[in-house]
Amino acid sequence: MKNFETHFNSPSNFQELSEARDLYWSDILSRSALAKTIMSGDFDKRLYAIYLIETYHYVIHNPRHQALVGVHAKNAPFNYVKFCYDHANEETGHEMMAFHDLLSLGLEKNSFTLDSPLNSTELLIGYLYYVSTTGNYLRRLGYSFWAEDSYGYIGELIGKVKEQLSLDHTQMTFLVSHSAIDEAHSAEIESMLNKYCSSAEDWNEVNRVMYTTLQIQALMLDEIDSEYQRIKKGEDSRYSFLNAIL
């Protein structure tokens, strides 16, 4: 499987969508430079810090484009629109968990600025705004479907990071809260998908967005690793200020 190609049997129900998610994750993790670095154990806090910074950047936008789905879903069932606003409400401020975890690594609050994200992070943000304001109004669910239930896929990596960096759980509030299988929330996304996806086109668009956002996330993970390798080698990087936490 190469980037941005989604050919296998297109999912046509929730079960098949779940299987596609398994497949995409397994493909991504098998190719991920970041996963390799983590499993090798050859990394320090700066890698986790860069991950948290990029997470901060894209997570700020989650409630905004989630709300925009509601605004643009003109003929959607009221309960779906209400879900969009309710979910936007819930997601508001979650970037502060990533920010909190970042500070917990030893950075002084006003010693740095977070101006703009890495290229692939910005790509993820921009694509999600487009997805949320055009086309099939259900399709952003394909992003929620993986983004809010990833512990099963990255739990091992999280464990390795925690152990290697001797982090306690107060330093992993974002990953813990977002990756843990939040059963209530997962159930809500599943319920939305099952209630409102009623055509092959619906499932296709949800799958397209799940696939594409997962691919961009994979690019982001690689870019995080690459940026880390740069500061490790002492090369010029916007994130050189992280040397302060070594």
Measured CA angle at 212 (ends 193, 72), to 5 deg: 55
Q: Which CB atom, from 28 or from 167, has the smaller least distance to a copy of itself?
A: 28
Nearest to 154 by CA among 43, 37, 25: 25
Do residues 45 and 163 touch, judged by C-beta distance below 8 A? no
Q: Give the whole-angstrom CA distance, residue 30 versus residue 50.
A: 21
Which CB, 10 or 164, lies closer to a copy of itself? 10
CB nearer to a copy of itself: give 143 or 158.
Answer: 143
Q: Which residues bind a copy of itself (CB under 8 A)?
A: 2-7, 33, 63-64, 67-68, 70-71, 78, 81-82, 85-86, 88-89, 92-93, 116, 118-120, 122-123, 125-127, 129-131, 134-135, 208, 211-212, 215-216, 219-220, 222-223, 226-227, 230, 235-236
Location of structure tokens 């894209």: 58
Rounded to the nearest whole angstrom, what is the least distance from the CB of residue 157 to a copy of itself in the complex?
20
Nearer to a copy of itself, 154 or 218 (CB): 218
Q: What sections of the chain are H helices per DSSP?
A: 14-31, 33-40, 45-59, 62-72, 78-91, 95-103, 119-133, 141-147, 151-164, 173-179, 183-196, 200-232
CB of 228 to a copy of itself, least distance (A): 12
How many angstroms separate the CA atoms of 32 and 217, rounded?
10
Contacts of 153 (CB under 8 A, 6+ apart): 25, 29
CB 246 to a copy of itself: min, Å: 21
CB of 8 to a copy of itself, least distance (A): 10
Tell me which DSSP letter residue 13 carries.
S
Q: Using the minimum distance from each CB to a copy of itself, give the nearer residue, 103 or 129.
A: 129
* Minimum CB distance to a copy of itself, residue 16 (Å): 15
